[in-house]
Structure 1
Amino acid sequence: MSRVLHLIVCGAGPAERVADMIDLARQDGWDTYCIVTAAAAEHFVDLDELRKVSGHQVRTTYRVEGDGPVPPADAVIVAPATYNTINKWAAGAADNYALTQLAELTGAGVRVVAVPFVNQALAANAVFLRSVESLRAAGVRVLFGPGELEPHPPRTGSSALAAFPWGMALEAAG
């Protein structure tokens, strides 16, 4: 029986390569269900392609008539996690489907791994640093800092895409 992974995809450059994560997860015995933020859906991912790669409907909003149920998650990976998502999640905001799911799954004690994709200027913001610490205190494994994902210089995100640590995120998810 395969394990169920909920992959929450935010609107940042690495989202363009999320199919790589789904392939890695499949090879590791995970059945992946994607939840995609509005920004990711609009600018970074092809929802039809994600559906084909994952084999499941991709959620961008709350369940509507005709949607099948999503099985409970054994683990959750939020990647790439944007500055906005990290801060709103840590503050308890649940103003979209992805954040509502994160609030619920974190509170339920499901294993959650977040991989922020932020530049050095955003990462130096005291609000962001407090948010990362708040999520860690809530039990979220945030792959951020030395030896994990280090922020890139401003306006160089495209050069950091190939090094995005999909495998590290999957390993942390267990």
Structure 2
Amino acid sequence: MTTRTLYLFGSAAPPVFDLATVIEEAQQRGFDVCLGLTPTAARWLADDLDNLADLTGHPVRSRYKAPGEADVWPTADVIVFAPATFTSINAWALGLTHDFVIGVVAEGIGKRIPMAVMPCVNAAYARHRQFERSVAELREMGVRVLYGEGGFVPNQPGQGKPKEYPWRLALDEAERLTTPPA
């Protein structure tokens, strides 16, 4: 089996603390994983970044590289952005590329890189009109949004269940997006 490169991106939501387990599962599925984080997620995981880099075999990235600096990752076959917060979903849909991972996924649309995103928002954020607009916009641009029935279903504020975050669905979608049609 040819190794497929998965860019696994995460933002600052509690399921981000399970990334080591998710990376191992992705590797068992035949993915070479490159981990990218929003600046806040990188701050949350600061004590684990070296271990996560050792696990993936690639540097963990949360910042843009300098002009002329070599890219340290192989080219992506698929990108999965999970967990993706309210801020990340809206920034991506609006093209606000102030963070590295948002810039990569925004550009990924134009490069036609297969992408999936699984939000991690509470029901109060989900009721905000911009969130639904952003989900619809990403879907219209060809991003597979794992939200609602068959994806992430929001909890009430303060009642999150990070250990129940459906990581398996995100990895299943990465496999589906990189498997040629029969």
Q: Answer yes or no: same fold by TM over 0.5.
A: yes
1:41–1:47 contact (8 Å) kept in structure 2: yes
- CA offsets per residue over residues 23-65 of structure 1, 9 Å max, x none? 1110100000011111101124521121122121111112258
Structure 1 portions without partners, runs of 5+: none
Equivalents in 2 of 1:131, 1:66: separation in Å?
32
Q: Which residue of 2 aligns with 1:62?
A: 64
Q: C-alpha distance in 1, partners of 2:97/2:20?
A: 26
1:31 maps to which residue?
32
Q: Does 1:137 align with 2:140?
A: yes
For residues 84-103 of structure 1, give each alpha carbon's deviation from its aligned partner in whole angstroms, at most 9, with x where no partner exists.
00001000111121111011
Partner-residue secondary structure (3-state), 2:142: coil
Inter-partner Cα distance in structure 2 for 1:56 and 1:90: 28
Aligned residue in 2 for 1:101: 104
Name 1:115's counterpart in structure 2. Answer: 118
Question: Matches of residues 71-86 of structure 1 in structure 2 within 5 Å?
Answer: 71-86=74-89
**1:12-23 alignment runs, 5 A limit:** 12-23=13-24
Partner of 2:178: none
User: Contact 1:4 / 1:71 at 8 angstroms: preserved in 2?
Assistant: yes
Offset at residue 68 of structure 1 (A): 5.0
AA of the residue aligned to 1:18 = L
User: What amino acid is aligned across from residue 132 of structure 1 in structure 2?
Assistant: V
User: How many residues are treated as equivalent by the alignment?
Assistant: 172
Q: 2:149 aligned with 1:146, yes or no? A: yes
Amino acid at match of 1:14: P
Query: Which consecutive aligned stretches of 4+ in structure 1 deviate over 4 angstroms post-superposition?
Result: 64-68
Corresponding residue to 1:127 among 118, 130, 145? 130
Q: TM-score, normalized by length of structure 1?
A: 0.93
Q: Distance in 1 between matches of 2:145 and 2:71?
A: 30
Spell out, residue by residue over 1:91-141, the C-alpha distance to the aligned partner (whole angstroms, 9 max, x if none): 011112111101111221111010100000001111100100000000001
Structure 2 unaligned regions, length at least 5:
176-182
Query: Deviation at 1:69?
Result: 2.5
C-alpha distance in structure 2 between counterparts of 1:151 and 1:86, whole Å: 14
How far 1:147 sits from its partner (Å)?
Answer: 2.5
